[in-house]
Amino acid sequence: MSGGAAIREGQILIGSLFNEPMRVETVQPNGAASWIVGLVGTSSERFRKVTITAEDVKRLTLLDPQRSFNGDGRLLRLGLQAYALGIAYEFDPYFGLSISRVDPLPSSRTPWTTSWTD
């Protein structure tokens, strides 16, 4: 970690200054060699606003977030469909039946009493 590295939003700070890895939410300069940093704990989700100097930055490990799109596309599609069905169920409880590929039998459409009396 070089001393000239700047703290940016989205980075993860790890070091002895904090009891858990902290995600940087806000950064404001506070002079030549210090910053007022808004941090959120990655496990506790507690917000902290601290002043960090250039000396403190030298003792911290800064991790840049890396995004990858290596996930399973089928699981993403399944999750999106489940979410859409959950929302649709709130408005129409029979929505899942109406869009299914299963054709109901005639006995499923009419009550049992009318089929027995005919």
Q: Is the pLDDT of residue 113 over 80?
A: no
DSSP the chain: --TTPPP-TT-EEESTTSSS-EEEEEEEE-SSSEEEEEEEETTT--EEEEEEEHHHHHHSEEE-------S-HHHHHHHHHHHHHHHHHHH-TTHHHHTSSPPPPHHHHS-HHHHHH-
pTM comes to 0.54
Average pLDDT on 9-13 reads 92
pLDDT at 118: 53
Which structural domain, as residue segments, surrounds residue 50?
Answer: 12-63
pLDDT at 19: 92
Q: Do 53 and 78 lie in a common domain?
A: no
Q: Do 57 and 78 lie in a common domain?
A: no
Q: Convert the pLDDT of each residue in 15-46 to its tens digit.
A: 988 999 999 999 999 888 899 999 999 999 99
pLDDT at 3: 41
Number of C-beta neighbours around residue 68 at 10 A: 5
Q: Do 52 and 86 lie in a common domain?
A: no
Q: Convert the pLDDT of each residue in 88-112 to its tens digit.
A: 888 887 776 677 777 766 666 555 5
Q: Do 58 and 35 lie in a common domain?
A: yes
Q: Do 46 and 74 lie in a common domain?
A: no
Q: Do 56 and 74 lie in a common domain?
A: no
Q: Do 89 and 55 lie in a common domain?
A: no
Q: Do 55 and 89 lie in a common domain?
A: no
**58 contact partners, CB below 8 Å, separation of at least 6:** 1, 3
Beta bridge partners, 23, equal: 12, 40
Domain-located, residue 2: no
